[in-house]
Structure 1
Amino acid sequence: MASACSLSSFLSPPLPCPSRNEHSSHLASARVSVRCAAPLGYRPRRREPSHPATPSSSSRRGGGGGGASGRGAAVAAPPKPKPKPKPKPTPTPAPAPRKRHWKEGEFPGASEGSAPRPPPRTPIKNLKKKADDRAAAAAWACTVTEALADRIQKRQWEDALEVFEMLREQPFYHPKEGTYMKLLILLGKSGQPARAQQLFDSMIEEGLQPTSGLYTALLAAYSRNDLLDEAYQVLNTMKTLPLCQPDVYTYSTLIKACVDALRFDLVDSLYKEMDERSIHPNTVTQNIVLSGYGKAGKFDEMERVLSGMLENSSCRPDIWSMNIILGLFGNMSQVEMMEKWYEKFREYGIEPETRTFNILIGAYGKRRMYDKMSAVMEYMRKLAFPWTTSTYNNVIEAFADVADAKNMELAFDQMRAEGMKADTKTFCCLINGFSNAGLFHKVVSSVKLAERLEITKNTMFFNAVISACAKAGDLIEMDRVFKTMKNRHCEPDAMTYSILVEAYKKEGMRDKIYDLEQENPGLVGTVVAA
């Protein structure tokens, strides 16, 4: 085989380099001679067939034609190159088994590359399934209890009772006193005293020991719906139970029912009974009586109660006393008396709050004293008192009463822009304002908006819609709304029947009035007689 020098010359002949000097030529020749010279007695080693010959290996193994120099070897004719054998494919080593990286919380099962693990113990039958079922049940209970609290907060008593019955069927759920208390109060405020009594009876049947607070909540459910006889029966039952004796809150609740019914003779008897049982009235009790005398127009008795509160250190007047009296004169549009009492309470050392300013705004709005109304609102901003939903409701109501739909809408838009949540009274004022202005298409849009916002639809809301239908002369729609009101278990009041009777009278529909009298002879008879 030719030397490496001859092979390289054959593949790439040397080009003349006139710039290379003679000394450098000799050095290059000497290097080549040293590289290509073979020692005496040298025998080339048999080449491995698996490793093909390379030019460098040939130059190290091949002799230069019996010790010939590199230049002489270049003159000799090179032999024909032998075909290179195809290299055998090198077997790829088997990859090492990859170890799995387990996430936190996963079970680290054994893999091929991991260390041998002892055989797992035989699991207890259905142990994991039982644990999963228990966890899922706890999560489900938490979700349903949250749904129950949401229904109670939104005052959706039917949905709340449905969710509560669903929970009671579960073996892991045991309702406590607080849950029954909230449901009883909700049913009382929703005009469902009979449902409240049923819930109370089922509570006792399940073995829950009643308390004074639960009996007071049941008594309040009857009192809110003017059922004084049933409320007194609850009071008498409490007197017979050693662990459920009536307290000041029980008597205050019953006194409020008597005050609302203008039964001041019963109020005096309850005061005497409290004194016999060594139960002293507190500020809340006195404020209830104060409000009752004011609403009845008995201002002398009202001032007498207020003077007694000032003399008694245990029940001195507070901000609620101030708001009650200001609200009384404000609702009667007696602005001068309201301002007079405002100054009196300031002299007593009682500072106003947001509710106090809202009462002033509402009173000024009813009297169309918009300058004073704006001044109070600016004063609230100056003192860093926030405008609330009640603040905007008073402004919207002031514009609704005079059919100023433009300013009413502006106030409502500003209310929503500031993130205030509209309530039932807001939409009642909007519906009344649009109906007073003759914009009945906006009444429909307001009702749809209230539906989207899940506004609570109580008797006041349905009265506003029924009144709007009556003003539009659409008695068919009015009857439909009245039917929907009853289907939703929303009890009509005297205002409802008054609107219906007036609308039927205007159209000469005596048969409709007769049907209403048969349905509720007490309320309708009073309305017709008036």
Structure 2
Amino acid sequence: AGETDAAYRLFAASPSLLESPTAASRLLAQLSYRSTSSHTFSRAAGLLHRLRAQGGLNLLDANSLSLAASAAARSGSAHLAYSLLLSMLRRGLLPDRRAYTAADSRLRPAHALRLFDAILHHLRRAPDSSSASFALPDTAAFNAALSACADAGDCRRFRQLFNEMRSWPGAAPDALTYSIAIKMCACAGRRDLVARVLERILSSGLAPCATTFHSLVAAYVGFGDIPTAERIVQAMRDGRSDACLLLRHVAVEGNKEKGIAIVVDEHSDVLEDIVGPRPEEGTEAPLLSRTYPPNSRVYTTLMKGYMNAGRVDDVVSMARAMRREGETMPASRPDHVTYTTVVLTLVAACDMERAHAVLDEMARAGVPASRVTYNVLIKGYCQQLQMSRARELLEEMTTDADIEADVVTYNTLIDGCVLMDDTAGALALFNEMRTRGVAPSTVSYTTLMKAFAASGQPKVAHKVFKEMEKDPRVTVDRPA
């Protein structure tokens, strides 16, 4: 570690020292390997930017670039990872599968699928696939791409990739693959197929995983069918092994009878072969070989269903029940996502006093509040026109909790000033954001322009627009 730090300081003082491909690659590899967050990745990112400015990216080898892409994805710089991986392919270098899998799992669906297609295209053209075994996609790589298909709602692409899995060594579908298939069927509006996936997992000789049951609960919550989601969670709590039988009953219940309107994707028929044939009437439903108690992720997903339905008391009661159950079942203990869901629900109900009290509850439970938790609360105060409370919470977040405000935090506060007709306050926050090193987004500029336009200062609004045009980090959009 000390030698890597010394090498980086030497490079920072004399960039020309990295004219050797070996030196450049080794330094980037070491910096990337040690990166565990956006803060620790900053040195590797700085090295990449300097080399790019000097036209020296061609000095880097496949190993160092793969490590850098993987570290970039893990550190929240998925777009940088995407750019690095595509530049490797253009140079004829094949990336390690772990690097493009990490990027695919964090990129927007369109970019994730474009990258995966490019990887497969280059692998098919490779003269000797045995020498590129490190780059061949495995099940995890396909699962990341399949998840992108589900997020994009692309049934046909999902089916194509699913069929292709078995043509690659070490890429057979696993329980997680079928759990992603549940998400795909749900996105396609195929309630009937969702109910059959669990049986398909068992008939394939696989054991379901915790994600399988989370996906089932999430699917029915997404359909707006809270009673069925509750039945699945209760069956999990009771340790029932006949979940397949329960789902068979669910499959025959019509959406109309349950008062649910679901839009079915016109291409969803291609998913039927993945799920398998409808069970014949009278056949025994397979039993689970073990129980799957609900964890905090499952409970929180059900809570989100209550939140979407405006059932505030049920959300609060669920969190309370999770705390009690967590005393004997640690996996059920509420986490920061659970508490943030409670905060979201109370903010939506305009109950800011109870929403803020959740922070104290989190502290007592030893669960640190996240930036998202604070941002939700700040937004609630801004919507209630309580800007002084919002600013106090910002101070508490940055000073007491030692959490840095991000662009979402500042955009929310600036929008709050707009609601209060406080143009000076909006401008002060915009300048504070830049002083603290937080890059403004397109929304930052458009919100500030809206403030000046609403206060009868079109010239100042136009000046902000001109600044926006000069900022290479943002795109001028239609609202601007």
- What TM-score, normalized by structure 1, do the two folds share? 0.57
- Secondary structure, counterpart of 1:313 in structure 2: coil
1:122-521 to structure 2, matched below 5 A, reads 137=3, 152-156=35-39, 159-162=42-45, 180-181=66-67, 183-187=69-73, 190-194=76-80, 196-198=82-84, 210-220=95-105, 222-223=107-108, 226=111, 228-241=113-126, 242=129, 243=132, 244-277=135-168, 279-314=171-206, 316-330=207-221, 334-345=225-236, 346-347=239-240, 348=243, 349-365=291-307, 366-370=310-314, 372-373=317-318, 375-385=320-330, 386-452=333-399, 453-455=401-403, 460-462=408-410, 464-474=412-422, 477-478=425-426, 484=433, 488=438
Task: Find the aligned partners of 1:379 and 1:256 in 2 and give their Cα distance.
Answer: 34
The alpha carbon displacement at 1:266 in A equals 0.9
Instruction: Answer whether contact 2:217 2:229 (CA < 8 A) is retained.
Output: yes
Q: Is this contact kept in 2: 1:380–1:387, CA < 8 A?
A: no
Q: Distance in 2 between matches of 1:478 and 1:225?
A: 35
Number of aligned residue pairs: give it.
Answer: 383
CA drift at 1:308: 1.9
Give the residue type in structure 1 aligned to 2:297. R
Worse-superposed segment, 345-354 or 472-481: 472-481
Q: Distance in 1 between matches of 2:115 and 2:89?
A: 19
TM-fit CA distance, 1:303: 2.6
CA–CA separation in structure 2 for the residues paired with 1:393 and 1:405: 13
Question: Which segments of 5 or more consecutive residues in structure 2 lack a partner in the other structure?
Answer: 10-26, 52-59, 244-290
Cα deviation, residue 360, structure 1: 3.6
Q: Distance in 2 between matches of 1:383 and 1:246?
A: 40
Alignment of 1:32-111 (within 5 A): none
Offset, 1:433:
2.4
Separation in 1 of the partners of 2:323 and 2:74?
A: 39
Deviates more, 1:208-217 or 1:238-247: 208-217
- Following superposition, the deviation at residue 401 of structure 1 comes to 1.7
Taking structure 1 as reference, are residues 510 and 352 closer, same or farther at Cα in structure 2, changes over 3 Å only?
A: farther
Please, what TM-score do these two structures have when normalized by structure 2?
0.62
C-alpha distance 504-264 of structure 1, shift in aligned 2 (>3 A): farther
By how many angstroms is 1:522 displaced?
9.9
The alignment-based identity, stated in percent, is 16
SS in 2 for 1:351: coil
Unaligned ranges ≥5, structure 1: 1-134, 169-173
2:62, 2:94 within 8 Å by CA — same for their partners in 1? no
Cα RMSD for the two superposed structures: 5.0
1:381-433 Cα offsets, whole Å, 9 max, x none, are 45343342223222222222222222222221232244322212211221122
Q: Secondary structure in 1 aligned to 2:195? A: helix
Does structure 1 conserve the Cα–Cα contact (< 8 Å) formed by 2:69 and 2:81?
A: no
Larger radius of gyration: 1
Distance (Å, rounded) in 2 between the aligned partners of 1:268 and 1:501: 46
1 CA distance for matches of 2:93 and 2:47?
16
Change (3 A) 1:448 1:150: farther
* Aligned residues of 1:326 and 1:338 also touching (Cα < 8 A): yes
Q: Which has the higher contact order (CA 8 A, sep 6+)?
A: 2
Give the number of the structure whose residues are more often helix, by fraction.
2
Q: Secondary structure at the match of 1:369?
A: helix
